[in-house]
Amino acid sequence: MGFTAVKDPSGVLIVQVEGQLIVGNRQELKTAVQDALERGERRLLIDFSRTGYIDSSGLGALVSISKKVREQGGDLRLSGLNDDLRSLFELTKLDTLFTIADTPEQALAGFDVRRVLVPDLTPSDPTASTSPLRLCVRRVRQPGPSGATVEVSLRVPSDVDCVEEVVDLLLRHCCSGSWSTRRFRFKLRVAIAEALANAIVAGNGEDRTKSVLVRAELLADAIRIHVTDEGSGFDPEAVQEPLLPHDLERPTGRGLFLIRQLVDHVQFNSQGNSICMTLRRQ
């Protein structure tokens, strides 16, 4: 997972995002673009042809980058979004904020480029985790009125670098059978990643002395995810949808909105420091 930059012969800087753009690496992309602007680059293309996931923090980073590029009189374009990533931009109406092309070649043509040099886009597994697993998972089978329920739980340190690892780990446990569709796995990834990032950053304030409890219930007809932090909580009803025109350039505030759009049911405890998200099996 990382970023590579190639300058094509016409002067467009192509930044390729490999793997994921999430809370743990968004600052690296922002720094790379800022450095490019300081070097005098003004035409930039961010390509997601090898990207499997962008969380709300990654979307916020792109919003900040777009604003910075415009302030410098530059031109920023995006390309290579798969169908799932496109849906995130459409849900948040960010597709109205960015110029998005299907391929790097089409995006470069928008810069009125005649000759292009595109980085090697050999297909790879964009969702593969490159970091070794270092978390302890507890998996138990609980008897229930409609059959046994499998429960998977783990305690996560307040470190945003753990988010990708936790999501990959839970997806392996929750979607190990052949029943799950690609779209279901994507929705589950979004829900876990957004809830966990919110718990670590907003709930625990990235305090390493605190942790986040993540618990998944694998029911016969649904998967239920609980994420609980050690913070004081918040009022989820006070969080407005970030869809008004003057809100589109806000770098934050999209995580809970995405969760509510993609899962079947959302419930908070009275304190507001624990979320329960239910996705029905498809």
Q: Where does CATH 3.30.750.24 sit in the chain?
A: 2-110
The CATH architecture assigned to 2-110 reads 2-Layer Sandwich (3.30)
- Other C-beta atoms closer than 10 Å to the C-beta of 254 total 27
State the pLDDT confidence band at 122, using cuts at 50, 70 and 90. very low
pLDDT at 43: 95
**8 A C-beta contact, residue 92 and residue 257:** yes
> How many Cα neighbours within 13 Å face the side chain of 140?
7
* Minimum mean pLDDT range among 63-67, 126-130, 232-236: 126-130
Q: For a pLDDT cut of 90, what percent of the chain falls above it? A: 70
Is pTM, for the whole model, over 0.85? no
Q: Where does CATH 3.30.565.10 sit in the chain?
A: 138-280
State the pLDDT confidence band at 281, using cuts at 50, 70 and 90. confident
Name the average pLDDT for the chain. 87
**Cα angle at 114 between 31 and 100, to 5 degrees?**
50
pLDDT at 209: 95
d(CA 100, CA 45) in angstroms, rounded, equals 10
**8 A C-beta contact, residue 63 and residue 250:** yes
Residue 123 confidence (pLDDT) above 70? no
Which of 62-66, 116-120, 143-147, 171-175 reaches the highest mean pLDDT? 62-66
**8 A C-beta contact, residue 197 and residue 57:** yes
AA letter at 61: A
The interaxial angle of helices 83-91 and 182-198, nearest 10 deg, is 50
Residue 146 confidence (pLDDT) above 50? yes
Q: For residue 226, list its beta bridge partners.
A: 215, 276
Higher pLDDT, 230 or 9: 230
Residue 189 confidence (pLDDT) above 50? yes
Q: Among positive and negative, which fits the CA dihedral 180, 183, 185, 187? A: negative
**8 A C-beta contact, residue 229 and residue 199:** yes
The CATH superfamily holding the domain 138-280 is Histidine kinase-like ATPase, C-terminal domain (3.30.565.10)
pLDDT 10s digits, 149-168: 889 999 999 999 999 999 99
- Other C-beta atoms closer than 10 Å to the C-beta of 210 total 16
